[in-house]
Copies of this chain bind each other. A is one copy, B any other.
Amino acid sequence: MGTQQPAERQLPSRRIADDLRRAIETGELAPGARLPSERDLAGRYGTARNTAREAIRLLADGGLVIAEHGRGVFVRRESPLIRLGNDRYSHKYRESGLSPFLLECAKQGKTGRFEVLSIEQIEPPAEVARHLRLSMSERSVLVRENVFFADADPVHRVTTYIPWEIAEDTGLVNPEVGHPYGIHGIFEERGHVMTRLRESVSARMPKADEARYLQLPPGVPVLDVMHISIDQHGEPYELTRFVMRADLTGLLYDTPIE
């Protein structure tokens, strides 16, 4: 009839995926809705089940849907992100007595909590030593490994490196940091006031152990943030690596141009 030339022969798996994607984008399949089962789709489109399965995989890879074993495949709900802002370290929140993460959670109506996985004294990786400007003779750091939760969800895996010279004889070696303002209160008592922060941000797919710790569904990347605290003398005194699940958390920077 018209000038329209179908020409574009679609792969069956792409066709099914596109149809589903359209249904999701138009709202026909609302967030949380269940998709037709793989067997159902295969029947409707006259394909093998594996082909319908491949279609769903295409959507799951993009994070659009999430499969739950024995239950079905569901359109993913968007959770509002918890945004960690550079503001979280601001001295004006000092009196709140909350550590930066708990502060951000509270601001955003979530209940924050953290679990200490381990606390060790080790020789730091070369990269950490370089950023903390540790000389060969001072290569000893306290490492605290935490998982941060927002409500029930684990959202960050957090590794903090503190030069041993600063950490020794403080509460930092104990799991319970009973200090208002969290560990930063302790740093201040030791004479290090945070006056700058330097954070480098990357994104990538999680490693196997990160996926476990963070209970990450497939198709969700992580933000990988290396945070360095700089004191009033321009000296770095603490380095923290955040691995954050990107479907629940983000970052926010509000800074002057110098």
Contacts and interface: CB of A to CB of B under 8 A. Distances in A.
Given A219-B205, A257-B90, A257-B91, A83 B197 contact: no
A86 B255 contact: yes
A196 B87 CA distance: 14
A68 interface: no
A207 B257 contact: no
Nearest to A211: B62
A207 to B, nearest CB: 7
A199 B194 CA distance: 21
A219 B204 CA distance: 8
Interface stretch (A120-128, A143-151, A167-175, A245-253): A245-253
A253 B198 contact: yes
A195 interface: yes
A204 B81 CA distance: 12
Contact of A201 (B91, B201, B220, B256): B201
A254 interface: yes
Contacts of A218: 61
Interface in A194-253: 194-208, 218-223, 246-247, 250-253
Copies assembled: 2
A101 interface: no
A161 interface: no
Contacts of A204: 63, 221, 246-247
6 closest cross-chain pairs (CB), A and B: A203-B203, A221-B221, A255-B255, A203-B246, A201-B251, A202-B250
Interface of A: 61-63, 81, 83, 86-87, 89-92, 194-208, 218-223, 246-247, 250-258
27 contacts: A61-B61, A62-B207, A83-B200, A90-B258, A194-B257, A195-B256, A196-B255, A196-B256, A197-B253, A198-B252, A199-B253, A200-B250, A201-B251, A201-B252, A202-B223, A202-B251, A203-B203, A203-B221, A203-B222, A204-B221, A204-B246, A204-B247, A205-B221, A221-B221, A221-B246, A253-B255, A256-B256
